[in-house]
Amino acid sequence: MSEIAARPPSVDALARSIASTGLPHPLCVDAARQAIAEGDPSRAAEIANAIAAALLVPVVNATGVIAHTNLGRSPVKVDRAPRAQNLEFDLESGQRGSRQIGIGRLIARAVGAEDAIVVNNNAAAVLLVLAALADGRDVAVSRGESVEIGGGFRIPEVLEQSGARLVDVGTTNRTRVADYRKALTKRGNDIALVLKVHPSNYRVEGFVETTPVEQLAELGVPVVADIGSGLIDANFPWLTDGPPAWLSGEPAARQTLAAGADLVTFSADKLLGGPQAGVIAGRADLIATCARHPLMRALRPGGLVLESLHGTMLAYLSRDASRIPFWRMATASLDSLRTRANDVVTAANCGRVVECASLPGAGSTPGATIASVGVAIDGDRTERLRRHSPPVIARVHDDVTILDLRTVDPADDIVIVNALRSLG
């Protein structure tokens, strides 16, 4: 073996040779080092590309799942100048203000609550409510609602973290108000509140009974309902055609509060269609107790999230679903989707128009599908589409790649066309 061949190349020279990947130099150095350590310097560019693929970038969601958990749930518009905001500044008085007042009013008005606050996500909302209102005390939860929602949100574990104690009520399939009453009066129990949890992404069928909020409200302790998806009003005043046919049985914040819940908690990035955040809405005195808890400081959202959520809530109050991407996509007509699919197929000179089915996503409304239209290409082309810039995420069914146009912003149809053309 010649000495030259055995000598590893200089890390720096190898890093410079892969500068075209667009990564900053220190990351090219990482890739070069790893390739040399693995004994194959020729792999440096490949490693650099893998590093680049792990960076956060905008993608085109053609999966048909509108609020896709792996793709950031609800799509939201983010486009702003680098300006300061009155995050904690009162423009009236010129004094220090609260980041919660403005958004709290918008949400409270939209759901018919006395007040509302916003935290980082719904898991944080449930944790804060339990820590603030039930620390060191008992919380009654139906055995049928002691669930895991996905992504590690498990009711018994959240309760444990909050410092509250779980008291199981009823059975897995049937829990009556009498079961709650028994837990409330049992000697040794110190029930601070009843927690009702919407099982979201799973369903028990058959011999099933749950206790409605109306009956829980008569027990004499606060009722907290984790409704999950953030549907704000079962009457859908923001949709001109009223409730969509594909959505049924999803609890709504306004109706849950009207039925007697003292607080509701929900995600902002599921059916609400906003950025990642969690909402606590309901009785002003309970909200104030939550807002004063030391955990609030750790769970509060930042100004970008609050600004985005302001936009979402103002759209709801203006009854304008066209400003909420989730609802714009969910209610796009089949005719409009068919026209777009035809145009894409013609422009790309590739693929064919197909009927398909979209999903609302984010673990809400299990089993619900929305009729849709997309573009199909034979074979599994998902990897090539992912490598397009920007990446296009599609799904495969029976060895056919399907790009569902319901979850694609019409402004991105040109991206789909270019990605299809690049398949050759």
Q: Which residues are CB-neighbours of 198 under 8 A, at least 6 positions away?
A: 145, 225, 226, 227, 228, 229, 250, 251
Q: Should residue 363 be labelled a site residue for ligand PLP when binding is judged by CB under 6 A? A: yes
Q: Should residue 273 be labelled a site residue for ligand PLP when binding is judged by CB under 6 A? A: no
b vs e for 141-168, b when ≥16 Cβ sit within 10 Å of the residue's Cβ? bbebbbbebeeebebeebbeebebbbbe
Q: Which of residues 136-195 bind ligand PLP (CB under 6 A)?
A: 149, 153
What is the DSSP secondary structure assignment for residue 187, as one 8-state letter? T
**Minimal distance, residue 153 CB to ligand PLP, in Å:** 5
Considering only 167, 197, 299, 417, the residue that binds ligand PLP (CB under 6 A) is 197
Closest among 217, 218, 188, 195 to 143, alpha carbons compared: 195
Nearer to ligand PLP, 280 or 392 (CB): 280
Q: Which of residues 100-129 bind ligand PLP (CB under 6 A)?
A: 121-123
Q: Should residue 278 be labelled a site residue for ligand PLP when binding is judged by CB under 6 A? A: yes
Q: Should residue 198 be labelled a site residue for ligand PLP when binding is judged by CB under 6 A? A: yes
The answer to whether the Cα torsion of 126, 140, 250, 111 is positive or negative is: negative
Nearer to ligand PLP, 63 or 146 (CB): 146
Residue 3 structure tokens: 């000495």
Q: Should residue 196 be labelled a site residue for ligand PLP when binding is judged by CB under 6 A? A: no
Considering only 61, 146, 175, 200, the residue that binds ligand PLP (CB under 6 A) is 200
Nearer to ligand PLP, 11 or 225 (CB): 225
Length in residues, the chain: 424
How many C-beta atoms surround the C-beta of residue 327 within 10 A?
Answer: 24
Q: Which of residues 381-420 bind ligand PLP (CB under 6 A)?
A: none
Nearer to ligand PLP, 27 or 362 (CB): 362
Q: Locate all alpha helices (DSSP H) within 23-99, ordered by sequence.
A: 25-37, 44-53
Nearer to ligand PLP, 122 or 407 (CB): 122
* Closest chain position to ligand PLP (CB): 228
| Total residues binding ligand PLP (CB under 6 A) | 14
Question: What does each C-alpha distance from 235 to 239, 242, 272, 358 come to in angstroms?
Answer: 9, 7, 14, 22
What is the DSSP secondary structure assignment for residue 9, as one 8-state letter? P
List residues binding ligand PLP (CB under 6 A): 121-123, 149, 153, 197-198, 200, 226, 228-229, 267, 278, 363
